[in-house]
């Protein structure tokens, strides 16, 4: 049965790595925890197609969801600044699957928010890099997946140094002490640039 995925409705997304796909894998850095098998291409499927059988050397699945830690003020600021996915100049992308530790998940929501924003400034720091970096967050934890989040970013090649700067800042904060598996996969749109 075809499902309608309206604006704001949870959108299933599958990331399948192997020999084919619209994205070429430029690099894969194992930052923490177990690796993923190497591959040369990545295929991204949204909607009903994302529920299909696993393909290639590995397939990671996630779903877009409602916000957990964002206040009205932050949401309004982000909406006024952020760019959407699929911009023609955004030839580069990053897929960064992340798992957080049992200690993180043992905390109630208010304590997690305090670490995430009041102490680590995740949203405030991230907003400095909009609209150059476009983003979409996929949740995987409740799907029984190996990672809790599949984070996806798109940007123009000349903005990659900015993206490195953003990552360095986020990874230096308290929130990242709770990251126990992280793989940084960099991509380029396959085909003529």
User: Least distance (Å) from ligand HEM to the CB of residue 16?
Assistant: 20
Q: Indicate whether 141 belongs to the interface with ligand HEM (CB under 6 A).
A: no
Query: How far apart are the C-alpha atoms of 176 and 153, rounded to whole Å?
Result: 18
Which DSSP symbol is given to 90? Answer: -
Nearest residue to the partner ligand HEM, using Cβ: 126
Beta bridge partners of 43: 16
Q: How far apart are CA 21 and CA 143, in angstroms?
A: 24
**Does 137 help bind ligand HEM (rule: CB under 6 A)?**
yes
Which residue among 50, 166, 183, 185 contacts ligand HEM (CB under 6 A)?
Answer: 166
Q: Give yes or no for residue 115 binding ligand HEM (CB under 6 A).
A: no
Query: What separation in angstroms does the CA of 136 have from each of 77, 133, 154?
Result: 16, 10, 9
Pick from 69, 91, 156, 190 the residue near ligand HEM by CB under 6 A.
Answer: 69
- Exactly one of 24, 77, 123, 162 binds ligand HEM (CB under 6 A); which one? 123
């Amino acid at each position: 049965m075809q499902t309608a995925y309206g604006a704001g409705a949870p959108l299933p997304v599958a990331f399948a790595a192997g020999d084919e796909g619209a994205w070429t894998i430029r690099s894969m850095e194992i930052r923490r925890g177990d690796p993923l098998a190497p591959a040369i291409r990545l295929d991204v499927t949204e909607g009903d197609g994302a529920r299909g059988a696993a393909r290639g050397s590995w397939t990671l699945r996630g779903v877009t969801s409602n916000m957990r830690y964002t206040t009205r003020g932050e949401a309004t600021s982000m909406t006024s600044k952020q760019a959407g996915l699929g911009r023609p100049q955004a030839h580069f992308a990053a897929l960064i699957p992340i798992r957080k530790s049992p200690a993180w998940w043992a905390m109630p929501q208010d304590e997690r928010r305090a670490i995430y924003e009041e102490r680590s400034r995740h949203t405030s720091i991230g907003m400095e890099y909009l609209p150059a970096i476009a983003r979409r967050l996929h949740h995987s934890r409740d799907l029984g997946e190996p990672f809790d989040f599949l984070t996806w970013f798109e940007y123009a090649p000349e903005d990659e140094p900015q993206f490195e700067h953003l990552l360095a800042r986020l990874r230096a904060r308290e929130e990242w002490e709770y990251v126990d598996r992280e793989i940084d996969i960099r991509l380029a749109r396959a085909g003529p640039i």
